[in-house]
């Protein structure tokens, strides 16, 4: 890291960038190896990992099941550290090689769905509009906040999270730049939640699930080890909302799926039926 670094006229990839994910970062797309994806017994086949983007979908699936919808699914673990997302089968489902990715085998031909918000909307609409408000104004509000999350989270994860927790060196400018933006985003949420119980107003929706998966994780001290650094407790309305969502049984189940770290009772590497949760060790 040099203060007098001058970017070349044309950037070329000639050495690993360093940091936690250096071994899987590359400037080209496409598969690196042949690897067909497994297919279970349910129409919905999810290929994912319990990152914030991954748990958006597993939480929604568990919420749909709890609400009585037909949403049984198999969830297969994708180890991004080992490059599973670059296997030919995964790339066929998501050409961008990012989790989560979904195949719906009840469609003819089977339907692929990628990008977390797209998967959430697909599943909600498939379930008759579940967790999407029916009233037009609230529906529009929900969509606004859902896409706010999609546009804002790269500053939280790829910006703040990367430079605070994963980069090979601590760069004061980068950490300050992204910490300022994350705190501004938390303030946006806090001001909104001071006036509304849920993101779309009066009902729990896809927007709450999506935003909680990122910002709730930070607020509850589960991401980047940064809760104290960001002074999350000062955002009282965000904290109350985050804890209220965290208490939902479907949320507690969903965040365990495809998880391979943390306490043993939090780890469900693969999920193929509701009984899989019962087989987990007790706290």
- Domain end position, chosen among 114, 131, 148: 131
- Residues 141-179 have pLDDT tens digits of 999 999 999 999 999 999 999 999 999 999 999 999 999
Q: Is residue 282 part of a domain?
A: no
Q: Which of 7-16, 69-78, 179-188 has the lowest mean pLDDT?
A: 7-16
**191 and 118 in a common domain:** no
pTM equals 0.96
Task: Decide if 185 contacts 215 (C-beta within 8 A).
Answer: yes
Q: Is residue 122 part of a domain?
A: yes
Boundaries of domain holding 187: 136-247
- Residues 44-101 have pLDDT tens digits of 999 999 999 999 999 999 999 999 999 999 999 999 999 999 999 999 999 999 999 9
Q: Tokens at residue 4, please?
A: 């007098």
Tell me: pLDDT of 17 over 80: no
Dist. CA 235–CA 222, nearest whole Å: 16
* CATH number of the domain enclosing 192: 1.20.1050.10
DSSP code of 48? E
**168 and 105 in a common domain:** no
Q: How does residue 25 score in pLDDT terms, banded at 50, 70 and 90? A: confident
Q: What is the number of domains present in the chain?
A: 2
């Amino acid at each position: 890291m040099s203060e007098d670094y001058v970017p070349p006229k044309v950037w070329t990839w000639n050495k690993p960038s360093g940091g936690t994910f250096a071994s899987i970062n590359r400037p080209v797309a496409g598969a690196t190896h042949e690897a067909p994806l497994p297919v279970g017994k349910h129409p919905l086949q999810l290929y994912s990992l319990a990152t914030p983007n991954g748990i958006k979908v597993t939480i929604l699936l568990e919420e749909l099941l709890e609400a009585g919808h037909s949403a049984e699914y198999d969830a297969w673990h994708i180890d991004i550290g080992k490059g599973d997302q670059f296997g030919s089968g995964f790339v066929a489902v998501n050409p961008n090689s990012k989790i989560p990715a979904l195949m719906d085998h009840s469609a003819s031909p089977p339907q692929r769905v990628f990008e977390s918000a797209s998967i959430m909307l697909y599943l909600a609409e498939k379930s008759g509009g579940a967790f999407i408000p029916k009233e037009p104004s609230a529906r529009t509000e929900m969509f606004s906040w859902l896409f706010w999350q999609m546009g804002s989270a790269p500053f939280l994860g790829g910006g703040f999270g990367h430079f605070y927790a994963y980069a090979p060196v601590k760069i004061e400018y980068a950490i300050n730049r992204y910490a300022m933006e994350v705190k501004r985003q938390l303030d946006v949420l806090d001001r909104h939640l001071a006036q509304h119980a849920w993101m779309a107003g009066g009902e729990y929706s896809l927007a709450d699930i999506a935003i909680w998966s990122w910002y709730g994780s930070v607020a509850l001290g589960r991401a980047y080890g940064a809760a104290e650094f960001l002074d999350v407790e000062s955002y009282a309305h965000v904290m109350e909302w985050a804890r209220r969502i965290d208490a939902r049984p479907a949320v507690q189940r969903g965040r365990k799926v495809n998880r391979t770290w943390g306490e043993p009772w939090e780890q469900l590497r693969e999920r193929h039926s509701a009984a899989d949760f019962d087989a987990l060790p007790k706290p």
